[in-house]
Structure 1
């Protein structure tokens, strides 16, 4: 058997990223690993799924991460698409909208893309 465990994003400012994910997507810390050179924080969706997002903060890292031209992203499904879209619009974090497909994307503080989908 093989199953997903988590996804990882490296972040420059752990507190800023955690605040963004809680405000934008209601993700909350479920586990933390503290080491001298780095901190890992696992964010969960309040028990809706077992999947977590691991934020890795390398304590001596000062320059932004080069995310390249890959269009990798995480996707989130919501049962209140219109309200979440309005919230993200007010936050100023929408980076791309595709009205034909009925989806949009937001950016986190490090530039990672997060897809927002309605329940279909």
Structure 2
């Protein structure tokens, strides 16, 4: 498992409106494409700088494909990254603050100590 890679996915998809929309419409395809094309690129680096060792495990892929923010948090993904991305993906389907309240409600069962969210 790579908390870094989960956070990198959430961060990069959230920062690109077209990619956010693509993830909303086709999460499985977006996760597959992103892992193949983007996982090896280094943040804030030139395109030639790549690595080949980063990949999601099966549980990470499942959680990303299913937009499962609770599982992502339990794996150590940063909650602010999941919240901001999923607000962009789902808020339009809800009234004011409804999605944020549902996000929090889904996390109610998670008790302290919370998963380590450091990368």
Category of TM-score, reference length = shorter chain: under 0.3
TM-score scaled to structure 2, two decimals? 0.26
Looking at both structures, which has the greater relative contact order when contacts are Cα pairs under 8 Å and sequence separation is at least 6? 2
TM-score scaled to structure 1, two decimals? 0.26
Decide which structure has greater strand share.
1
Decide which structure has greater helix share.
2
